[in-house]
Amino acid sequence: MIIAHGPWPPAPDPDISNRFSGDDDAIRFGRALFHDARLSADGSMQCATCHEARHAMGDGKPRALGRRELDRNTPALANLSGRRWFGWDGRSDNLWAQSIHPILNPDELAQDENSLARRIIEEADLARTYLEVTGRSPVDDPPREVLVNIAKSLAAWQETLVTPRTAFDRFRDALAEDRDVPDNVFSRSARRGLKLFVGEGRCSLCHFGPNFSNDEFHHAGVPHFTRNGSVDPGRHGGIGKYRASPYRRTGKFSDEDPESAARAPGNFVVRSHDDWGRFRVPSLRNVAATAPYMHDGSVADLPAVVRHYDEINMNLFHEDGESLLRPLGLDATGRADLEAFLRTLTGDPVTATP
């Protein structure tokens, strides 16, 4: 069980729906665009306004602050390649499609495809780099194509954000080779916490694999009412948005061949009542650097996360849905151990400066 949470870092896994994936020019363009406020309609906001290197590519706030406070927490961007779903509700099945949402959202960069294409054409340096990366002048591309190519460049850069190796990885690799590491690398308390994590705590039922996520959607006992009293539909809404999007892996803007696109997970999605209030299982890599937690930022720090699972409120689950979770009833040592283990999943800060 423990060895299955590695090795780290994972082998490169290019995005076959994005012809710029792994392309150096596109990666440089994407990095520059991510930090360029000209990408927003009024020049006041950039991707890095919310995804900041000093906050591990999140914003350190409970909920994102766009042109108003949004309903959801800003995810820390890292380890994005190879994922099946993006967004807390899995509204996108690829990274460039996910990158289109903030460009068009009126509460974020607030562009439409026409205003964005005009901006790229008017700013000489952006138009020149666009031509270098895509081989076409933005004047000759339809606006929607410009939007997609900008998003694919942004995605090419975001794919390069990978969290570093951690104390857990050193322990895991040693275990795989039948060696051990000293206690000052991986403490006794962290070892007991890891045992809880893969054992009676049942955390690894959902937080599984090298990225500590099974890439699926679950209800983790977080209430899904928003502050104004409405309900966040979670995965139920995400499936609707996904189906309505022209930017799926099976769509005409994808660079994937139709045969492999036909096997994309999105083709097999069935929506059920149980999807209400489900959210994507987040990765736990770098977790000590990405507080506050959960889709609504409602859990402040790691001790509070451990308390949440320790005392989980079973009344929050659907009556008809079975739950993988149940209160753990840990003592103080157990809680400290679980927290100590979670802290071993964080290494040096992700370096993502422009």
Euclidean distance between CA atoms 193 and 187, whole angstroms: 10
Closest CA to 155 of 210, 205, 237, 98: 98
Per CB under 6 A, 294 contacts ligand HEC: yes
Of residues 136 and 326, the one with the C-beta less far from ligand HEC = 326
- Find the shortest distance in angstroms from Cβ 329 to ligand HEC: 12
Of residues 290 and 344, the one with the C-beta less far from ligand HEC = 290
Euclidean distance between CA atoms 320 and 272, whole angstroms: 12
Number of other residues whose CB lies within 10 A of the CB of residue 184: 7
Structure tokens at 80: 């994005």
Spell out the alpha helix ranges (H) of the chain.
24-34, 47-50, 95-104, 113-122, 124-134, 143-158, 167-176, 188-198, 235-244, 258-261, 302-310, 332-343
User: Which residues does 45 contact at the CB level (< 8 Å), separation at least 6?
Assistant: 37, 66, 67, 108, 109, 110
Per CB under 6 A, 330 contacts ligand HEC: no
Per CB under 6 A, 287 contacts ligand HEC: yes
Euclidean distance between CA atoms 6 and 174, whole angstroms: 11
Question: 89 near 280, Cβ under 8 Å?
Answer: yes
Per CB under 6 A, 99 contacts ligand HEC: yes
Euclidean distance between CA atoms 62 and 48, whole angstroms: 17
Per CB under 6 A, 154 contacts ligand HEC: yes
Provide the 3-class DSSP secondary structure of residue 65: strand
Structure tokens at 109: 């960069």
Mask for 43-82, x = binds ligand HEC (CB under 6 A)? --x-x-xxx------------x-x---x-x-xx-x-----
- Find the shortest distance in angstroms from Cβ 193 to ligand HEC: 9
Structure tokens at 63: 């909920």
Per CB under 6 A, 281 contacts ligand HEC: yes
- Find the shortest distance in angstroms from Cβ 178 to ligand HEC: 27
Per CB under 6 A, 284 contacts ligand HEC: yes
Of residues 79 and 134, the one with the C-beta less far from ligand HEC = 79
Provide the 3-class DSSP secondary structure of residue 277: coil
Which stretch in 110-118, 177-185, 205-213, 258-266 sits in contact with ligand HEC by CB under 6 A? Answer: 205-213
Euclidean distance between CA atoms 305 and 233, whole angstroms: 22
Per CB under 6 A, 295 contacts ligand HEC: yes
Number of residues that bind ligand HEC (CB under 6 A): 49
Of residues 220 and 261, the one with the C-beta less far from ligand HEC = 220
Mask for 255-274, x = binds ligand HEC (CB under 6 A)? --------------------
Q: Of 300-319, which residues contact ligand HEC (CB under 6 A)?
A: 305, 309
Binding site for ligand HEC (CB under 6 A): 34, 45, 47, 49-51, 64, 66, 70, 72, 74-75, 77, 86-89, 95, 98-99, 102-103, 108-109, 154, 158, 201-203, 205-207, 218, 220, 222, 279, 281-282, 284, 287, 290, 293-295, 305, 309, 324-325, 338
